[in-house]
Structure formats: structure tokens, C-alpha cells
Amino acid sequence: EVQLVESGGGLVQPGGSLRLSCAASGFTFSSYSMNWVRQAPGKGLEWVSYISSSSSTIYYADSVKGRFTISRDNAKNSLYLQMNSLRAEDTAVYYCARDREVSQIDYWGQGTLVTVSS
């Protein structure tokens, strides 16, 4: 069974930093591209970042470019999101999500809440 478990969320002040982690199991993590997707309270889904299986290709949404860094450790079956210079508008549940080959997201984690507030 595919499982994605996020951690690392919490309350942080504006301008602060936070590192999210996603532990993957139930599939060959090193063979799949991964994403971070977020959802602000009461709002829709927003794709944040993508990383290919080998980390050779990385993309970011314009809203986080230059502030967030995605990475992975295939030996540890883990995905990460380093978030710097956090703003109030970054407040959201952050989901770790797996791509099905070169196509849509097929599995999601349960999410971790990040709150940016003073």
C-alpha cells in the first residue's frame, strides 16, 4: 500500500523558515517524480513544486520561487521542502504527492499544516 506521511508543519513567524518532510513507503520511491501541493484554509489546491526521480529536474510555482527548495533522499525514501522567508500567504496544509509516470498525481499524503503568523 502506498503511504506518504508528511511532518514538520507548525507555527512560524513571518520571515521565518521551516522544513517539511515526507516519508514514503509501499512503492519504489526512487522511480517516481514527486510534488508538493498546498491548500490555504478554505481555498483550493495550488501546485508548489516538482522534483524528478533522480533530482535532475526541479520546478517551482512563481509564488514560491527563490524562497522554497525541494529535495529528496532516495536512500531514505524521503521528500523535503525547505521554506524560507515565509509570508502570511504561505499559510496552508502542505501535501506530498506522487506523480503517475509523466502525468497526473495519483497518491497524496494526509498533509501538514503550516501557519505563518506573529
Phi, psi of 36 (to 5 degrees): -115, 135
What is the DSSP code string of 4-17? EEEE--EEE-TT--
Stretch near other proteins under the rule CB under 8 A, chosen from 9-17, 20-28, 42-50, 81-89: 42-50
Letters for 58-77 (x = contact with other proteins by CB under 8 A, - = none) are -x-x----------------
Q: Which is nearer to other proteins, 80 or 94 (CB)?
A: 94
Q: Which of residues 17-36 bind other proteins (CB under 8 A)?
A: 33, 35
Q: Which neighbouring-strand residues pair with 23?
A: 5, 78
